Amino acid sequence: MSGSDARALSRSLLDLCRMRKLTIATAESCTGGLVAGALTDIPGSSDVIDRGFVTYSNDAKRAMLGVKATTLATFGAVSKETATAMAIGALEKAGVDLAVSITGIAGPGGATPGKPVGLVHFAVAARDGRILHRECRFGAVGRSVVRQRSVVEALRMLMELARGPLATAKPSREAASRLRQRVARSPRRSAAKRRRPPRA
């Protein structure tokens, strides 16, 4: 996947959002602003792109996006839970229609047990309450390749949500609260609730 892929996707996404009057914010960790860069490289993108958050450290994720310390401590920075919280945080802070987040391990270092180099978590949140998460394992293909592929994947996910239905109103406090409640629910707790007692 090359820079031309990202450029073509960026153009298509901007055209679609312009037509649907949608605005976008980005929240990036391992890509360091490359998604925002790809979009703002297209002339006229200012009518769609509102802002980009580069939250490389855990402190930045907490301070700029409102990711809870317990989320980071329990699941780690590279996780579905953190990616989802980042996307929701960007959506709330910017007051936009769509927000995308990326957090991963571009390499060559940083791998931990169960989280290899090339693991990237993505999330996209829409103001109508839809949330999309995706996990990609690109492998140890090199730092720049992981980052380039992550940009393309993030743009594809934004396209996916931009095509769907969106309400006319900006996100209400009630909608934001519902989104946060979804993130706060631990999948481990949910699994425990579903577990049936053994039969005698």
Q: Is 148 exposed, middle or buried (0-12, 13-18, 19+ CB in 10 A)?
A: buried
CATH topology of domain 3-194: Maf protein (3.90.950)
Report yes or no: 9 and 152 within 8 Å, Cβ to Cβ: yes
Q: Compute the average pLDDT of residues 38-51.
A: 98
Closest CA to 133 of 200, 65, 71, 81: 81
pLDDT classification of 4: cutoffs 50, 70, 90: confident
The predicted model scores a pTM of 0.84
Question: What b/e string do you get for 99-121 counting C-beta neighbours within 10 Å, with b at 16 or more?
Answer: bbbbbbbbbeebeeeebebbbbb
- The Cβ of residue 77 has, within 10 Å, a number of other Cβ atoms equal to 23
The structural domains of the chain, with segments of one domain joined by +, span 3-194
What's the pLDDT score for residue 33?
98
What's the pLDDT score for residue 88?
98
User: Tens of pLDDT along 69-100?
Assistant: 999 999 999 999 999 999 999 999 999 999 99
Mean pLDDT, the chain, whole residue set? 89
